Amino acid sequence: MSEKTTVNLASAFANRGTKYPYGCRFDATEALPFVNARAVSAVFDGEYCFEDPDVDVFGNITVHVIGLCDRCGDDADRIFMVPFDQTFYKDATSDCYTYNGGRLDIEKALHDELSLSLPTLLLCRDDCKGICVKCGANLNRQSCNCDTSEPNAFSVLKDLKF
């Protein structure tokens, strides 16, 4: 249990239904779905509320990530904001988040939320064009004259309608 991500519930137990502000910094690098990246900072800012016998925690996670773009290989420096809304149960099965006694550790829930909510690719920018598959030119910086009209095995997929 990390002290940085641990909530002391003593006041909340005495005041059922009252919202208490809570924020923390935590290490999010292990929760990132990106291969060549690390979290520079990760912050949770929100509130918690005791709703006998459960505790609701809600707010936002802000994570600053640096690494290499998965499309073009350039440096990527991005900030992601992820909403967080979880219930922690006093008595629950193993597939739920729980709290013990008067302390609640939200670190695993924060990591899980990041893992599930962040995009699978880290891009230098949302409209990254990547690299040319023929000549390797970074299409964000230059255009190339490669012939891309030759169909490939996956060209039929562009006509699929969903």
Encode the chain (162 residues) as per-residue pLDDT tens digits.
Answer: 455 888 889 888 989 999 999 999 999 989 999 988 999 999 999 999 999 889 999 999 999 999 999 999 999 999 999 999 999 998 767 788 888 888 899 999 999 999 999 999 999 999 999 999 888 899 999 988 887 666 667 777 777 777
The pLDDT, as a whole number, for residue 157 is: 76
> In 16-139, which ranges are continuous DSSP H helix?
107-117
Predicted model pTM: 0.82
- For residue 91, the model assigns a pLDDT of 74
